[in-house]
Structure 1
């Protein structure tokens, strides 16, 4: 059974090599994946500047792609791709950036906006800043590299600047019974699971939430803002709700 929550959202961003920042960084700590993983260089490395020397790296496929799920809906002001400082920027050449409202690998009605592409030459630590003109709220950002044959895709670092947006539509959460988050970012009170879900939507950084009918009323709604390993645990009388990708 899914929880239906009614809310409200708006919009996003061309490509230049000039510095431009609006809003806050909204990708760090979110869910990242790539088509394939070169051992030791998973997609999440591209979200943390501490790994910018080498970043993330796919194995050799065609196309090769990298994607982050912002786990919320945002107006995105700019997306900055930074080439790795170790010279792997050669594996970012001609890659292009797109933004989407849904997971294109799961949903048949995904809206996609092309934002621009990296040049055919890339220097160490070079930054490419993309802006888009999407007329829909953004949840997913994908970087793709295609060629006539198999290619690697390397991203030294990616930063996404934006603000939470509001949009009228229904959100669906998949419940997992007898499970709750271990490290909630916010603890509050809710009369129903639906109300807890509304709190999650109003806090645009919220990823998922947990609700309990029997927990103390001042702490029966737990909101999660950051994806961390093993951020849920089995617990009776609790239900954890995870936002569906196809809304």
Structure 2
């Protein structure tokens, strides 16, 4: 069998409107997460837009069509609002105009059944360092946030800072896990026990931040189920009793 399937139902409700400089205080769930972009100009990678200390320069793409920036929240969340801030360096802020913000439940580059929701669009006129806060009408648990600029030709995208506010929720109605033999989670946030791999998968399912898990039928019973919320945190081991299950799309 290709993978384990975990089933649940979830409901997410948020309002849809465009706001300026208004914050709904919950938790910034984008700090320390995995960011990428369509390309990288010079030394301004996608990760800089997640660190407020680098908001002066932020992230910067080359001229792509479209140009996009994305953060993988490494878990599933109810989103209350998303704030994007223009850079303050020189005139780079103009490369955020007309950028639109959306949220998705799966990786659009891997999955064919992605659910998405529009959150808002930066106006055509803006100032250096200006903030724009949007709410999203997503009726599903969110894992990915993407900012995109489109053009008839190549176009830059520059973002000073992205702040995603939200709270953890349950996973989408289906999660598929691909097994990898002789691999073991090296940085678990939870070490527990399970009778079978499916039980370990249920424990992972109950923790909204759990992305991958490892199970061993022969390890000590209180240490045979390892849960992680970090990317690339598993490694090969010389023990064929361990299998790591990674969330993926079929």
Superposed, which structure 2 residues align to 1:89-100 within 5 Å? 89-100=93-104
1:29 pairs with 2:28:
no
**1:120 and 1:145 mapped to 2: Cα distance?**
12
2:74 corresponds to 1:71 = yes
Deviation at 1:167, TM superposition (A): 5.9
Question: Which structure 2 segments of 5+ residues have no match?
Answer: none
1:128 Cα offset (Å): 0.9
Q: Do 2:171 and 2:205's aligned partners in 1 also have CA atoms closer than 8 Å?
A: no
Q: Confirm or deny that 1:62 pairs with 2:65.
A: yes
2:223 is matched with which residue: 219, 222, 235? 219
What value does the CA root-mean-square deviation take over the aligned residues? 2.0
TM normalised by structure 2 equals: 0.88
The answer to whether the 8 A contact 1:210-1:239 is kept is yes
How far apart, CA to CA, are the structure 2 residues paired with 1:134 and 1:122?
26
Residue 213 to residue 82, structure 1, CA distance change in 2 (3 Å): same
1:168 deviates by: 6.6
Q: CA deviation at 1:245?
A: 4.1
CA contact (8 A) 2:140 2:172 kept: no
Is residue 246 of structure 2 the alignment partner of residue 242 of structure 1?
A: yes
In the superposition, the TM-score normalised over structure 1's length comes to: 0.89
Q: What is the match of residue 7 of structure 2?
A: 6
- Give the unaligned 5+ runs of structure 1: none
Shift of 1:113: 1.5
With over 3 angstroms needed to count, the CA separation of the structure-2 counterparts of 1:146 and 1:164, relative to structure 1, is same
Which segments of structure 1 move beyond 6 Å, counting only runs of 4 or more?
none
Per-residue CA deviation, residues 27-50 of structure 1 (Å, 9 max, x unaligned), is: 223332211222322222222223
> Quick one: structure 1 residues 33 and 245, their matched pair in 2 at CA, closer, same or farther if it must change by over 3 Å?
farther
Residue 177 of structure 1 deviates from its aligned partner by 1.3
Give, in whole Å, the separation in 1 of the partners of 2:233 and 2:171: 28
Distance 1:148 1:170, change over 3 A: closer
Question: Hey, what does 2:183 align to over in structure 1?
Answer: 179
Deviation track 1:17-68 (CA, whole Å, cap 9, x = no partner) reads: 1231243222223332211222322222222223222222111111101112
Superposed displacement of residue 93, structure 1: 1.1
Query: Using a 3 Å threshold, how does the CA distance of structure 1 residues 51 and 231 change in structure 2: closer, same or farther?
Result: farther
**In structure 1, what is the equivalent of residue 88 of structure 2?**
85
Distance across 2 between alignment mates of 1:243 and 1:168: 12
Give the whole-Å Cα distance in 1 for the aligned partners of 2:172 and 2:115. 16
